[in-house]
């Protein structure tokens, strides 16, 4: 299988991170750990989107890759998600909870839909 690229995951919850890693690896991505690694996408959990701007900006500088932001604070629905992504300056947001298919669809969309 040809890898689709490295995806970095920034999530403080070990169980969530492990599930995300498994889903992404099953879909053909490599999961990278730690800063300084090349990544095609960074998935980051933000407990409070209102106070996450500095962290998101630092991740954008560190990885120079699109960000997919996860949070239980987002509302479901495309219009709300698109507006939240625009306000945060990220590629896409995904409200929690989500399914494997929803995550992989969001990853595909965040990468421009060509994966």
Q: For residue range 28-71, what is the model confidence (pLDDT) as tens digits? A: 999 976 666 678 899 999 988 788 889 999 998 888 899 999 98
CATH architecture of 6-50+69-110: 3-Layer(aba) Sandwich (3.40)
Contact by Cβ (8 Å): 10, 93 = no
Q: How far apart (Å, rounded) are the C-alpha atoms in residues 77 and 82?
A: 9
What is the reported pTM? 0.86
What pLDDT, on a 0 to 100 scale, did the predictor assign at position 99? 94
Q: Is the model's pLDDT at 86 over the cut of 90?
A: no
Give the position of tokens 């997919």. 68
Q: Is the model's pLDDT at 75 over the cut of 80?
A: no
Q: How far apart (Å, rounded) are the C-alpha atoms in residues 31 and 89?
A: 23
Q: Is the model's pLDDT at 115 over the cut of 50?
A: no
Q: How far apart (Å, rounded) are the C-alpha atoms in residues 67 and 46?
A: 11
Q: How far apart (Å, rounded) are the C-alpha atoms in residues 107 and 105?
A: 5
Cα atoms found within 13 Å of the Cα of residue 83, Cβ hemisphere only: 7
Q: Among candidates 96, 92, 103, 60, which has minimal Cα distance to 75?
A: 96
């Amino acid at each position: 299988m040809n890898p689709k690229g490295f995806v970095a995951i920034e999530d403080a919850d070990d169980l969530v991170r492990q599930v995300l890693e498994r889903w992404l690896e099953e879909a053909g991505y490599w999961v990278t750990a730690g800063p300084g690694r090349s990544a095609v996408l960074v998935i980051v959990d933000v407990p409070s989107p209102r106070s996450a701007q500095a962290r998101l900006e630092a991740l954008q500088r560190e990885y120079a890759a699109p960000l997919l932001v996860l949070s239980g604070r987002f509302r479901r629905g495309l219009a709300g998600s698109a507006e939240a992504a625009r306000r945060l300056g990220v590629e896409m947001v995904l409200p929690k909870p989500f399914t494997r298919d929803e995550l992989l669809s969001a990853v595909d969309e965040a990468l421009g839909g060509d994966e």
